[in-house]
C-alpha cells in the first residue's frame, strides 16, 4: 500500500513538472524580442541606437570619413536603418567600447544587405563566409567601391603615377614606382587609404618607403 502511494506521488510530481515546463516555455515564447531605434548613422558600418549606444556591425568594414566611398556607404546605411526598429544579436564590446554585433531588420541581416550595395566591404578579419561570398560577387561586378575607388591607373591625374599602398592594421606604407617589378599588378584602393603621388619626395614626406622590389 505504501509503495502504491509513493508511486502515485511520484507520478503526480512528474505531471506537475511537465505542466510547469510547458507553461514556462509558453511564457518564453510570448516574451517579445527587444527592439531598438536607430537614431543616427555614423558611417557605413557604425550606427547609434537608444541610450546613445554605438553599434559596430560585425564582419564588415566601411570607408572611413574622408576616403573614397564614405558618403555613399553612409547614405546606403541610412536608407536601411535610420529611424527604424532593429534587433541585435550576439553582441560583444570592441576595443572602442562599441557593441560588435549582427543587426536585423524586417527579417533581413543588415550586415549582408549593406555589403550587397557594393559600398561596404567584407572585413578581412571576419568570420562569415556567406558575407565574404557576397563581397566577392559585387567585386566581380565592379559595384560601389570596386568601380569607383579601386584603380590600376590614375584616372584623375595620369601624370602622377607613383602608387602608395597603405594597409590598415599594419605598419606597411609602401610606394611603388613605374618600372618596379610588381607595379603593373599593384592596385590602389582609395577606400582603404591608398594614395597616388607625383614624386618620390611627396611619397616619402607622407610616411611611405620605397618597395624592396624597386631597388
How far apart, in whole angstroms, are the C-alpha atoms of residue 145 and residue 45? 14
pLDDT in tens, 3-48: 544 554 444 545 544 444 543 334 334 445 789 999 999 999 999 9
How far apart, in whole angstroms, are the C-alpha atoms of residue 39 and residue 78? 10
Distance of CA 33 to the CA centre of its chain: 24
pLDDT at position 121, please?
A: 98
Residue among 187, 175, 179, 183 nearest 211 (CA): 175
Answer yes or no: is pLDDT of 188 > 90.
Answer: yes
pLDDT at position 91, please?
A: 73
Share of the chain above pLDDT 70, in %: 82
Answer yes or no: is pLDDT of 97 > 80.
Answer: no
Q: Considering the chain, what is the average pLDDT of its residues?
A: 86
Which carries the bigger pLDDT value, residue 108 or residue 29?
A: 108
pLDDT at position 28, please?
A: 39
Helix ranges (H only) for the chain are 2-30, 70-81, 110-116, 129-140, 145-148, 200-205
pTM, to two decimals:
0.79
Answer yes or no: is pLDDT of 1 > 60.
Answer: no
What dotted CATH number matches 36-147? 2.40.50.90
Question: What angle is formed at CA 97 by the lines to CA 91 and CA 98, rounded to 5 degrees?
Answer: 45
Residue among 95, 103, 92, 116 nearest 57 (CA): 103
pLDDT at position 25, please?
A: 38
| Residue 205 confidence class, pLDDT cut points 50, 70, 90 | very high
pLDDT in tens, 113-167: 999 999 999 998 888 999 999 999 999 999 999 999 999 999 999 999 999 998 7
Residue among 134, 7, 154, 2 nearest 60 (CA): 134
pLDDT in tens, 50-66: 989 999 999 999 999 99
How far apart, in whole angstroms, are the C-alpha atoms of residue 187 and residue 184? 8
How far apart, in whole angstroms, are the C-alpha atoms of residue 87 and residue 181? 50
Answer yes or no: is pLDDT of 185 > 50.
Answer: yes
| Residue 92 confidence class, pLDDT cut points 50, 70, 90 | confident
Amino acid at each position: 500500500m505504501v509503495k502504491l502511494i509513493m508511486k502515485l506521488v511520484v507520478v503526480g510530481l512528474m505531471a506537475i513538472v511537465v505542466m510547469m515546463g510547458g507553461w514556462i516555455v509558453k511564457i518564453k515564447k510570448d516574451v517579445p524580442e527587444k527592439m531598438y531605434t536607430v537614431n543616427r548613422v555614423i558611417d557605413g558600418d557604425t550606427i547609434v541606437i537608444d541610450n546613445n549606444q554605438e553599434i559596430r556591425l560585425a564582419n564588415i568594414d566601411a570607408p572611413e570619413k574622408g576616403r573614397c566611398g564614405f558618403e555613399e556607404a553612409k547614405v546606403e546605411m541610412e536608407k536601411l536603418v535610420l529611424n527604424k526598429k532593429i534587433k541585435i544579436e550576439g553582441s560583444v564590446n570592441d576595443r572602442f567600447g562599441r557593441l560588435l554585433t549582427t543587426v536585423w531588420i524586417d527579417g533581413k541581416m543588415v550586415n549582408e544587405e549593406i555589403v550587397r550595395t557594393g559600398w561596404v566591404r567584407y572585413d578581412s578579419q571576419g568570420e562569415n563566409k556567406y558575407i565574404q561570398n557576397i563581397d566577392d560577387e559585387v567585386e566581380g561586378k565592379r559595384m560601389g567601391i570596386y568601380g569607383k575607388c579601386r584603380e590600376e591607373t590614375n584616372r584623375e591625374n595620369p601624370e602622377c603615377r607613383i602608387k602608395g599602398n597603405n594597409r590598415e592594421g599594419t605598419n606597411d606604407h609602401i610606394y611603388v614606382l613605374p618600372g618596379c617589378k610588381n607595379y603593373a599588378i599593384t592596385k590602389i584602393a582609395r577606400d582603404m587609404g591608398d594614395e597616388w603621388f607625383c614624386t618620390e619626395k611627396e611619397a616619402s614626406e607622407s610616411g611611405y618607403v620605397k618597395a624592396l622590389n624597386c631597388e
